[in-house]
Structure 1
Amino acid sequence: MVNFFKFNMAKLSGKVACQLAKHGPGSGGTYPGHVFTKIGGQESIPKLASDLKLGSVLITGTNGKTTTTTLLIKLMSKDIQIRKSYENNILNSIVTALLNQKGDLGIFEYGIRDMTYGIPDTVQKLINPVGVVYTTISQEHTQVAGVKNPFESYYKAKKLLSEGMERGAIVTNSDDPRTALIGLDKSKDVDINYYGIETDVIEDIGAETIECPKCGKELNYSHFFLNHRGIYSCECGFKRPEPNVKLVNAEFNSDSWILDIEGDLYNYFAKKNVKFNLKLNVPPFGFHNIYNTLASITAYATFTPKVENIESTVKDVFNNLDMSFIPPGRFEVVDIGGKFVGLGQGDNGDALKINAMFMKQFIDAPFEFIYTTPDEKEEEIFEDHYKVIKSMNPDHVIVVPGRKSIEKAEEYCNIIKQDFPDADFYPLSYDEMDVRIERLNEMARNSDYKYVIMTGCGEEQAMWEEIKKKMINR
């Protein structure tokens, strides 16, 4: 039982902190939540979360979290008032939104890199969400607090966000074996709505099979859509579930894409199945955003209390969509006087592969790859990156440290030189970020090639967005 006085003091202090945060520098998205938890303790969070009449939906995954959350917010805001949090992936940001906003439903992005700092099972118990949305789960061997995080631990942490759910619904990607298994394992406890691709129009080239997340044997794929996402099965009996919301056809043009989507799923609040058919006209936003589109539409149709609005709302949002919905720092192709530069963060193999596939739509002549490397203890990221670089077969490669270690970046460059002997290395310092940003901009702008792709690791959004601004403004 939460102490009544303690809870109200925490809530009052948190709300005061919300007002103060409006006038102070930085951390406004987390500071009020920190104040509330410091005074009331974590045991006060469930009572605060219970203010939401409809409950909360948490969005997680390796890639696509922010974009999916952004799109879901656009959709759900058409129907009801919501409380929201995205990009700031910690518990305190959720608590701040609960304190500072009004609404009956919470939509919160929640990124998880490990169990210790991500505390996914704790978050699930404290927030008690009615929904968890999974985008995709791919190799993410990043350091957490200076310690290498094994993929098995990373995957388990993602699963823990929904493992304790006893009510609600899970929205998950049927084309991704890892997220599909999460749905299958929880199907006895909660409702599951899958989304995926159901057309041969989209086909990846050079993708590799992965191990079955259920038994560990190699999966059999009959079709690859994007990296490890596709149509798969295993001799143990595990196979791709049939998606409830699926892309059934797509037409790709240079200035717009036409997406045909069919849906037949269970709406959690209406307690019934709903069907819909959509033909959407969207900007050419990259193959990865097809999955983000499907994830957000599935989540919206699962949790909106106004099922009669599904078709009209989705069409209204997506038919009027422009590229501004893509978060800062993400991959874009910039035309600078007839030279096309594709640039943006690609801090794991999945992300860099998506960037490469997007850039390939533009390339019809020799091109240069400016690669920003991962750090020490991130060899698996480099291995995944290098597979993509080799599959693209650039005419020239430039290697730049994407993170702190110049020595490790040079080691990666020497590996690259085994296949691309004329690759160049530029030991730009992480500590002089302004100089690094300026030099990367100059490299792309002054390249001898008409097409340049510049991607990899870095200061994620901040670095890439600043390079883009400099490139466009000149």
Structure 2
Amino acid sequence: MVKLGYSLAKVGGKLSINLSKIGVGNGGSLPGYVLIKLGGEEALSKLASEMKTGAVMVTGTNGKTTTTTLLIKLLSSDVQIRKSFENNTINSIGTGLLKQKGDLGVFEYGIRNMKYGIPDTIQRLINPIGVVYTTISQEHTQVAGVKNPFSEYYKAKKLLSAGMKRGVVVTNCDDPRTALIGLEKEKDVTVNYYGIAIDEIEDDSAISIECPKCGKPLNYSKNFLNHRGIYECECGFKRPEPNVKLTNAEFGIDNWKLTIEGTVFNYIVKKDVSFEVEITVPPFGFHNIYNTLASITAYATFTPKIENIETTIKSVFNNLDMSFIPPGRFEVVDVGDNKFVGLGQGDNGDALKINAMFMKQYIDGPFEFIYTTPDVDEEDIFYDHYDVIKNMNPDHIIVVPGRKSIEKAEEYCEIIRRDFDEVDFYPLSYDEMAKRIEKLTSLALNSRYNYVIMSGCGEEQAMWEEIKKNMIKR
């Protein structure tokens, strides 16, 4: 009866595939939903176990989709894989497993809290051979109307790999929070770390965070990007040495040349493999250097064709263009008449900082910041955002509600007015998204400033992509 129930659930899921054509990330969530609805969560576990090699999960705060996209490009060159991205839920994993063939899977998985993210359940059901961590910082401090403390958010991220007894954890050693996850997992599985090993990248306005192990302030000898860098604590916690690292970089106007080298444990062939590559990529921002390192480390860890590592990395990255950036992410649009508008989501302080650093490459005079605010109970995100705004020191600021509460957005605006004289507030309704998009487009295009940055909270894809389209159509 159990086998019959699973077979019926699998057939039902497959039959629903034609109804799931609408949706991002390779087909939406409907087939996975049908599978689990008919066969329960254990049907997902049985389906995942049909992959002879296993699944690799990608999680973090920022960079999940980009890292997953790049990893899929790399691994697909060597082996047939099952995959899902952007629709990063339990149902979308089921959809990816149903729709595709292959013995290896790559699945993006976003986790905002333990209740809705169910990371320990996902780990048990999927039994991944790999978990890839990008970076962890504050975001979405309110989930389903309830404040979600950062400690709980961090714990939820850790739970995705906590139960692993096989495989490899791939994690960012420059981020103290993801580094600690790796150090704590070394007793159970192999850990491959990635990080930066050059002096050319330095974040002068970086923040120092508390030690994730003991809570005391960390001491940084170098800051690469926000809280990422080389650090140590008096409790003994310190940055692990990276297995894969950026060892040289030449930053040009039209392209960047990056040298990446490493030695990792490859889970498939069960031995260490070494490589060194020089790649030429678009000038895609320092944050995408980390996404590049994460995807390359994971690829070298899980490819069955270790002899292809250097050739495949060069082939993928040397032919990369900016289209690999997921929808809604920050881009700078040349709208003509020597005017540049940088816009895209920045739902947490780390993301907004990255957007600001990217925009600074274009600013050559007075500029305006159109800031879309967080919501009620998201004061932590606001103050992280505000540190970025103050560091940029714009000549004019426009404040717009980025989420539901107009009243809270006005409160945030009043705080900004304490430090800045040139501040305007527009109470645009979140529920009237078409009008909001039209007005934000108009504010940017009709700004008296040649340089405009528009970022903060909001619809992660729809709003930003529609505004970009309006800019390009002009």
> The TM-score by the shorter chain falls in which range?
over 0.9
- Give 1:424 shift: 0.7
Q: Which residue does 2:95 correspond to in 1?
A: 96
1:151-210 C-alpha deviation (Å, 9 max, x unpaired): 000000000000000000000000000000000000011110000001110000111211
Q: CA RMSD in A?
A: 1.4
State the distance in 2 between where 1:66 and 1:26 align: 9
After TM superposition, the structure 1 = structure 2 runs for residues 392-407 of structure 1, keeping only pairs within 5 Å, are: 392-407=392-407
Q: What secondary structure is seen at the aligned counterpart in 1 of 2:9?
A: helix
Q: What secondary structure is seen at the aligned counterpart in 2 of 1:460?
A: coil
Q: Which residue does 1:328 correspond to in 2?
A: 327
Which has the larger displacement, 316-325 or 31-40? 31-40
Q: Go from structure 1 to structure 2 and tell me whether the alpha carbon gap of 1:211 and 1:24 turns closer, same or farther (over 3 Å shift).
A: closer
Q: Which residue does 2:436 correspond to in 1?
A: 436
Q: Which residue does 2:29 correspond to in 1?
A: 30
1:421 paired with 2:429, answer no
Amino acid at match of 2:275: F
State the distance in 1 between where 2:147 and 2:23 align: 35
Amino acid at match of 1:19: N
Q: Which residue does 1:388 correspond to in 2?
A: 388
Q: Which residue does 2:293 correspond to in 1?
A: 294
Q: Go from structure 1 to structure 2 and tell me whether the alpha carbon gap of 1:122 and 1:195 turns closer, same or farther (over 3 Å shift).
A: same
1:2-48 C-alpha deviation (Å, 9 max, x unpaired): 81111111111111112343489999521111111111111222211
Q: Given that residues 141 and 380 in structure 1 are in contact (C-alpha distance below 8 angstroms), is that contact kept between their aligned partners in structure 2? A: no
1:81-127 C-alpha deviation (Å, 9 max, x unpaired): 00000001111110111111111100000000000110000000000
Q: Which residue does 2:281 correspond to in 1?
A: 282
Amino acid at match of 2:20: A
- Give 1:317 shift: 0.2
Amino acid at match of 2:361: Q
State the distance in 1 between where 2:281 and 2:21 align: 35
After TM superposition, the structure 1 = structure 2 runs for residues 206-355 of structure 1, keeping only pairs within 5 Å, are: 206-337=205-336, 338-355=338-355
State the distance in 1 between where 2:21 and 2:434 align: 28
Amino acid at match of 2:461: Q
Amino acid at match of 2:375: D
State the distance in 2 between where 1:24 and 1:426 align: 32
1:129-169 C-alpha deviation (Å, 9 max, x unpaired): 00000000001243211101100000000000000000000
Q: Go from structure 1 to structure 2 and tell me whether the alpha carbon gap of 1:286 and 1:42 turns closer, same or farther (over 3 Å shift).
A: same
Q: What secondary structure is seen at the aligned counterpart in 1 of 2:16?
A: helix
State the distance in 2 between where 1:12 and 1:148 align: 40
Which has the larger displacement, 31-40 or 213-222? 31-40
Q: Which residue does 2:142 correspond to in 1?
A: 143
Q: Given that residues 46 and 126 in structure 1 are in contact (C-alpha distance below 8 angstroms), is that contact kept between their aligned partners in structure 2? A: yes
Q: What secondary structure is seen at the aligned counterpart in 1 of 2:461?
A: helix
Q: Percent identity?
A: 74
Q: Given that residues 62 and 140 in structure 1 are in contact (C-alpha distance below 8 angstroms), is that contact kept between their aligned partners in structure 2? A: yes
Q: What secondary structure is seen at the aligned counterpart in 2 of 1:275?
A: strand
Q: Which residue does 2:170 correspond to in 1?
A: 171
1:113 paired with 2:112, answer yes
State the distance in 2 between where 1:90 and 1:440 align: 30
State the distance in 1 between where 2:205 and 2:115 align: 35
Amino acid at match of 2:214: C
State the distance in 2 between where 1:275 and 1:222 align: 28
Q: Which residue does 1:5 correspond to in 2?
A: 4
Q: Given that residues 120 and 160 in structure 1 are in contact (C-alpha distance below 8 angstroms), is that contact kept between their aligned partners in structure 2? A: yes
- Give 1:213 shift: 0.6
After TM superposition, the structure 1 = structure 2 runs for residues 33-52 of structure 1, keeping only pairs within 5 Å, are: 33-52=32-51
Q: Which residue does 1:450 correspond to in 2?
A: 450
Q: Go from structure 1 to structure 2 and tell me whether the alpha carbon gap of 1:342 and 1:25 turns closer, same or farther (over 3 Å shift).
A: closer
Unaligned runs of 5+ in 1: none
Q: Which residue does 1:75 correspond to in 2?
A: 74
- Give 1:432 shift: 1.3
Q: Which residue does 1:152 correspond to in 2?
A: 151
Q: Which residue does 1:134 correspond to in 2?
A: 133
State the distance in 2 between where 1:305 and 1:43 align: 28
1:201-260 C-alpha deviation (Å, 9 max, x unpaired): 000011121111111111000000000000000111110000011011111111111111
After TM superposition, the structure 1 = structure 2 runs for residues 365-384 of structure 1, keeping only pairs within 5 Å, are: 365-384=365-384
State the distance in 1 between where 2:26 and 2:275 align: 41
Q: Given that residues 25 and 84 in structure 2 are in contact (C-alpha distance below 8 angstroms), is that contact kept between their aligned partners in structure 1? A: no
State the distance in 2 between where 1:26 and 1:321 align: 19
Q: Given that residues 141 and 151 in structure 1 are in contact (C-alpha distance below 8 angstroms), is that contact kept between their aligned partners in structure 2? A: no
Which has the larger displacement, 96-105 or 52-61? 96-105
Q: Which residue does 2:187 correspond to in 1?
A: 188
State the distance in 2 between where 1:196 and 1:28 align: 33
State the distance in 2 between where 1:465 and 1:365 align: 26
Amino acid at match of 2:344: G
Which has the larger displacement, 90-99 or 58-67? 90-99
Q: Given that residues 363 and 451 in structure 1 are in contact (C-alpha distance below 8 angstroms), is that contact kept between their aligned partners in structure 2? A: yes
